[in-house]
């Protein structure tokens, strides 16, 4: 066995554990590059929780509540490493969305048992913006409508709604796609 292969076998598990372990990330913020973290015990000053989010049981109910402005929805979970890595592009996405007059909603797919973990991660990451956690009924409805499954889902996933709450796309590019995502949003909103 070559040295390169041995090195790969030793380094890959460490990378996987580091990139996907919220506890490790909280104890080693330099690894996840969360330089904005100053006080782990408080939320970002501009964080707000979506009103009565625990009572929204379907995508249709959510769409009704979001009417009035286009909305970019980030479906994510606290345990999802790829989801959290997309947060590195949050500032540039926020700037673009503000300029385009599009609101942002972070919709966590964490189940009720992980509510405290979700909220602690929001504090740790100093995530501003509007947040909500999908209850079991909303998770099931999203799974059925977005992923065409009965309870399963794959995240991160991004959805764009127009000002009337109509889904323009449930397969948006990721924030890490930068200019390509911004062009996709502009194009869909111009229809």
Q: What are the residue boundaries of the structural domains of the chain, listed by start?
A: 1-32, 35-189
**pLDDT bracket for residue 41 (50, 70, 90):** confident
Q: Does domain 35-189 have CATH number 1.10.10.10?
A: no
What's the predicted TM-score (pTM) here?
A: 0.78
As a whole number, mean pLDDT of residues 139-160 equals: 92
**pLDDT bracket for residue 40 (50, 70, 90):** low
Q: Within 13 Å, how many C-alpha atoms sit on residue 128's CB side?
A: 11
Residue with tokens 């501009």: 46
Task: Judge contact between 151 and 140, C-beta under 8 A.
Answer: yes
Query: What pLDDT shows up at residue 39?
Result: 56
Query: What pLDDT shows up at residue 101?
Result: 96
Task: Judge contact between 65 and 56, C-beta under 8 A.
Answer: yes
């Amino acid at each position: 066995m070559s040295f390169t292969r041995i090195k790969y076998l030793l380094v890959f598990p460490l990378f996987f554990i580091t990139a996907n372990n919220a506890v490790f990330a909280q104890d080693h913020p330099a690894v996840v590059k969360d330089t904005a973290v100053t006080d782990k015990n408080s939320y970002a000053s501009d964080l707000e929780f979506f009103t009565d989010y625990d009572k929204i049981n379907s995508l249709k109910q959510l769409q009704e509540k979001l009417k009035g402005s286009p909305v970019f929805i980030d479906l994510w979970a606290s345990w999802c490493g790829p989801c959290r890595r997309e947060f590195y592009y949050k500032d540039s996405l926020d700037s673009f969305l503000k300029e385009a007059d599009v609101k942002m909603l972070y919709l966590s797919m964490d189940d009720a048992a992980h509510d405290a973990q979700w909220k602690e991660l929001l504090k740790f990451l100093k995530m501003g913006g509007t947040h909500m956690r999908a209850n079991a009924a909303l998770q099931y409805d999203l799974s059925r409508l977005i992923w065409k499954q009965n309870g399963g889902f794959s995240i991160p996933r991004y959805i764009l709604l127009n000002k009337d709450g109509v889904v323009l796309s449930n397969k948006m590019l990721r924030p890490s796609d930068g200019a390509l995502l911004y062009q996709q949003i502009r194009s869909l909103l111009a229809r």
